[in-house]
Structure formats: structure tokens, C-alpha cells
A = this chain, B = another copy of it.
Amino acid sequence: MTLGFEILGTDGAARRGRVTLAHGTVETPAFMPVGTAATVKAMRPESVAETGAEILLGNTYHLMLRPTAERIAELGGLHTFMNWPKPILTDSGGFQVMSLAGRRKIDADGVTFRSHIDGSEHRLTPARSIEIQDLLDADITMAFDECTPHPAEHGTAAESMRLSMRWAKLSRSAFRDRPGYGLFGIVQGSVYDDLRRESVTALTDIGFDGYAIGGLAVGEGQAEMFRVLDVTAPLLPDDRPRYLMGVGKPGDLVGAVQRGVDMFDCVLPSRSGRTGQALTRRGAVNIRNARHMADPRPLDPDCACPACTGYSRAYLHHLSKADEILGPMLLTWHNLHYYQELMAGLRAAIAGQTLDDFAASFAEQQAAGDMPPL
């Protein structure tokens, strides 16, 4: 075990923890903003840190193509390259490569694919994915897996999961253990309880520093996702962090934390920020809507982020209509701030053993919806 994980408290299945990594500590449950191409879009890294984020996610697929992992390694690794001195988790490239429909070919040893940038041919295998993540200097490396499409028949899901388990073993062999760095295995098995169980057993037999739950938030809906978590999370080792990949909406985070998940990543807050969509404690607000045109009130009067303390809805609406870069800058900041505030609330609620109350009050506020027009 090469990364530290302490559980500081529990409330039901939920855990209040701390992951200790080469580049710092991460209080869990934690949300990781996505920094795809070595930048959280529209944010300076100092601003990302100001929102409370302690760890970012970087994408192997994007970085291996441009500027390449070797270039980043020459320049001192991803932390130095992107001016983010805190921990970084990198994905394995598996998920993104699988989604290159018509541009990739899977075989037993890996995936051959064509770049979306210039059409050039590349190959990812478990060993190469781990090597790239090592070159990037990721604090947490993800095993290379195949993300099973949704929906999938039981037979297809089983075959896909077993391929991922073979690759998980190869990923583990390729990973270079060192203090403060860790490798996470990824549980697959689609919506099938027996496959999820088989996958957990395969991974715990190999032994990883943490366990991710993959193949969710791919269209199965929140209820089904929670059901899979109810089956899967209790099977995972208590003493290792659990990471639900690619999730999610604020309500997904609350429900998954209640089911024992410690870590999350999702493009939703940053991507929404670039399309005029704000995520607030009162639900989603589309700032492009004409109802905000003359509204002098802040997006969320209870939010302390720069977008809410410095500007009216009318101004944010104006920026959005005028396609001004400051629009995405401010809305992304707000969304990431809100996500980090939500995670801080969840951590405090677990510590105080008031998580059920927190979740009920969260759901009530979300359901009440945005403030009525003036």
C-alpha cells in the first residue's frame, strides 16, 4: 500500500476520510474537477484551488496526443506543466478511446485508435497506459479498462468485464510502487449484480490501493446507479478509498456518498459553466433565459463565489448573450465552488453524524427550485 487512507468518521455507510498522496492530502468525500488537456477549462489553477479543490483529474487520452506524455515528463511532469502543485489523478485513457466510435479497434492486448486531432494512429495497452500516467507523474493512476457500453446483454457485459480484469492484472504488474503514489482498480459488470461481485473479487485478489466503480452514469439513470452502488460498495475493502467515475449531478453525489463513495469526478460543473448553465443549491439555472435580463439579484444570494458576490444575473445574462469569455470564467467558477461547498457540507455532516438531515435538506432546496422572477 503506497498511498495513505484514514477514515476519520462514519455515518451509516458514508465515510469521512483523508487520502495522503505525494503532492498533498485530500479530504474525502472529495470532488475532482476535470482538467482534460492540462487545464480546467476557463479557470486559472489558483482559482480552482480557491474553490476548495484538492485534487484534479487529468486525461491520458488527450495528453498522450497533445502535447504527449514524454513532452510533459521532459517539462517536469503534469503538476509543473499546468502549475497545479496539488494531487492529480489520471484516467487510463480507456473510457475516451472506447468512445471513439469507428476510429478504434479492440483486441485482447489493448486498443488501436486514430487521433481526433490529426488522424494519426496510436495504441494503448495496460502497460502503455500505466507508463503514460507515470510520465505524467499522476499521484493516482487508474488501471486500463474497457468501459462496457450501456445497455449491454449479460454475456457481453461479462466478456467485457473479464477483459478489464485481465488488463487490471497487467496494469498492476506495470505499475511502479512508490510512496505517495497509488493504483486504483476499476469494478465493471454493467448492471448485473453477479458480474459486479465477480469483478470486485478479481480486483481484490490482485490488490489495489483504491477501487473505482466504472461503467455507471452512462444512461442507466440515478435509481439504477444507486442500486448498483448498494450492491457493489459494501463488497469493497473498507480500508481503501472508493471512487465513482464520471459522476455526477449534485443529487448523485449526495446519494453516492450516503452509499459509501469517497471520490468523484465529472465534467458537468465545468462544461455547464461554458453553456450558461449554473448549478446552485436551488437547482439548475439557465442564465441565457430572458427572465434574467434585468434581474439585479445574484445567481445565488447565499453563495460566496466571485460570480455571486460581484455580479447581477443581468450582467451574467449579458455576458452569455454577448459570448464574452468572462461568462464561462464566472459560471465555471461558480459551479466548481458550489460542488466543493456541497462536498464540504457532506464531510461536515458525516463528521457530525447528521448526513440524513443534510441529504433531506439538500433535496428540499433542490426541489423548491430557483427564486421566482422579481
A324 proximal to B (CB < 8 A): yes
A260 to chain B, nearest CB (A): 35
Query: Which chain B residue has the least Cβ–Cβ distance from A323?
Result: B37
A331 to chain B, nearest CB (A): 12
Q: What 1/0 mask marks residues of chain A from 79 to 117 whose CB sits below 8 Å from any chain B CB? A: 001110000000000000000000000000000000000
Q: Check B312 against A75 for contact (C-beta < 8 Å).
A: yes
Q: What 1/0 mask marks residues of chain A from 123 to 165 whose CB sits below 8 Å from any chain B CB? A: 0000000000000000000000000000000000000000000
Residues of B within 8 A of A41 (CB): 324-326
Q: Check B318 against A329 for contact (C-beta < 8 Å).
A: no
A294 proximal to B (CB < 8 A): yes
Q: What 1/0 mask marks residues of chain A from 216 to 254 whose CB sits below 8 Å from any chain B CB? A: 000000000000000000000000000000000000000
Near B by CB (< 8 A), chain A positions 283-326 give 293-294, 296, 306, 310-312, 314-315, 317-319, 321-322, 324-326
Number of this chain's copies in the assembly equals 2
Q: Check A71 against B325 for contact (C-beta < 8 Å).
A: no
Given A83-B310, A310-B83, A315-B82, residue A322 in contact with residue B71 (CB < 8 A): no
User: What number of A residues sit within 8 Å (CB to CB) of B?
Assistant: 38
A369 proximal to B (CB < 8 A): no
A24 proximal to B (CB < 8 A): no
| Cα–Cα, bound, A317→B39 (Å) | 13
Within 8 Å by CB of A324, from B37, B315, B326, lies B37
Q: Check B39 against A324 for contact (C-beta < 8 Å).
A: yes
A42 proximal to B (CB < 8 A): yes
Q: Check B81 against A315 for contact (C-beta < 8 Å).
A: yes
| Cα–Cα, bound, A38→B319 (Å) | 8
A66 proximal to B (CB < 8 A): yes
Query: Which chain B residue has the least Cβ–Cβ distance from A82?
Result: B315
A67 proximal to B (CB < 8 A): yes
Given A43-B326, A66-B321, A66-B322, residue A314 in contact with residue B71 (CB < 8 A): yes
Given A44-B306, A329-B44, residue A83 in contact with residue B318 (CB < 8 A): no
A177 proximal to B (CB < 8 A): no
Residues of B within 8 A of A364 (CB): none
